[in-house]
Amino acid sequence: MSTPSSEDITRLLQEWSDGDQTALTKLMPLVYDELRRLAHRYMAQERSDHTLQTTALVHEAYLRLVGQKDVQWQNRAHFFAVSAQLMRRILVDHARTQHAAKRGGGGLKLSLDEAANVPYEPAAELIALDEALTKLADIDRRKSRIVELRFFGGLTLDEVAEMLSVSSPTVMRQWRVARAWLYREMDKEDHHDA
């Protein structure tokens, strides 16, 4: 596959944000590959010098893909909102696939039977969060957006505040209650699950 041009991606992003779902299916593999590459680098860097990347992975991925100067969005806010949403979609879909493969055996696990153990699984946690977030959106759309921007979009609370044109303390308060709500919801699911 040839390397997609920034224009392609920008266009697809724009189309998707305009409601064209087929744009998303074209977009995902492109972004996925880039993310994967960056994820490796992220891991390697984090391990070696033990500093967390301040440049968030998502920003980097999108900026690299789209090219900062080519961003044709009306405003940054819209761009990051779409980015965060896309990140959520990609990661959660990916987590679901992986989770299903593990549960279903997939023929990869051999004689050592790990199935009896329920190890910590990032995939499972991500799926649970996604589900809880969807429920939160039903009762409080704004808070689910804050979480999406912060967790999936990698924005700081200050950036989120700026984007939503409210004060940082306000966002902080809303973040806090959203986080508590999500935690409780995820915990609840676990118990039902067990």
Binding residues for other proteins, rule: CB under 8 A, are: 35-36, 39-40, 42-44, 46-48, 50, 52-53, 56-58, 87, 91, 94-95, 98, 105, 107-126, 128-129, 139-140, 147, 150-154, 173, 176-177, 179-184, 186-187, 190-191, 193-194
Q: How far is the CB of 72 from other proteins (least distance, A)?
A: 25
Residues 6+ apart with CB under 8 A from 160: 146, 149, 150, 171, 175
Residue closer to other proteins by CB (options 66, 155) is 155
Closest by Cα among 64, 76, 68, 185 to 133 = 185
Q: Which CB sits closer to other proteins, 18 or 113?
A: 113
Q: Residue 69 or residue 191: which is nearer to other proteins going by CB?
A: 191
Q: Closest distance between other proteins and the C-beta of residue 88, in Å? A: 8
CB of 146 to other proteins, least distance (A): 11
Residue nearer to other proteins on the CB measure, 15 or 121: 121
Minimum separation from the CB atom of position 187 to other proteins (A): 6
- Cα(129)–Cα(72) distance, rounded to whole angstroms? 31
Q: Please report, for residues 78, 93, 102, the alpha-carbon distance to residue 141 in angstroms, rounded to integers and kept in the order given.
A: 16, 21, 32
In angstroms, the CA 16 to CA 11 distance is 9
Task: State the DSSP code for 151.
Answer: I
**Number of neighbouring beta carbons within 10 Å of residue 120:** 6
